[in-house]
Amino acid sequence: MKKLNSVAVYCASSNKIRPSYVEAAERLGAEFAKHGIRLIYGDGGIGLMAATARGALAEGGEVLGIIPQFMVDQGWNNPNSTETIVTQTMHQRKAKICELADAMVALPGAIGTFEELLECLTWKQLGLHNSPVVILNTEGYYDRLLACIDYMIEEQMMRPIHREMFTVVSQPEEVLDAILSSPEWDPSTRRLAAI
């Protein structure tokens, strides 16, 4: 069984989203805290980022926010995080999150969340990390993206084995089991990155 110390979460910063997404994010944060797992996230003070942190903090959990300086200057950071790392660029932020996390989880989000998730999967495909990646598909939010990935495989843009780089679950309480039971990804599979 893998040892989990920290899990990164990628998710929305929008406040104009359905309450069920917010509730699921809070439940996920609480699950991390109950199991002694540090939440790593983008330090956003609103939306699902804040909700996930709120859930963890309510259970006495540790919350590490990583945010670029320009976002702090805009007042977008979460003052309730137990620890904050301020980077100079978005690229540094993403690299630091990946460096410190034992696994990554994508909740519903917009293009920033998609970009983080897809870059994380790209790095895994290239053998730059072998951490588990889980998509929390709340209310089928990611169904269309998953269909697009299946279509990429059908069109031979990527190999079927790359569908094994991530696991999809529908409930926050399933995330930790999905991380712990995810198959070990062999970084040498970078040889399969090209079709």
Instruction: Give the pLDDT band (50/70/90) at residue 189.
Output: confident
Q: How many CB atoms lie within 10 A of CB 95?
A: 15
Cα dist. 65→71, 78, 142, 158, 180 in Å?
12, 8, 25, 33, 23
Single pTM value for the model? 0.94
What is the domain partition of the chain in residue ranges?
6-180
* Percentage of the chain exceeding pLDDT 90: 89
Q: How far apart are CA 53 and CA 46, in angstroms?
A: 10
Length of the chain: 195
Q: Residue 1's pLDDT is what?
A: 42
> Could you name the CATH architecture of 6-180?
3-Layer(aba) Sandwich (3.40)
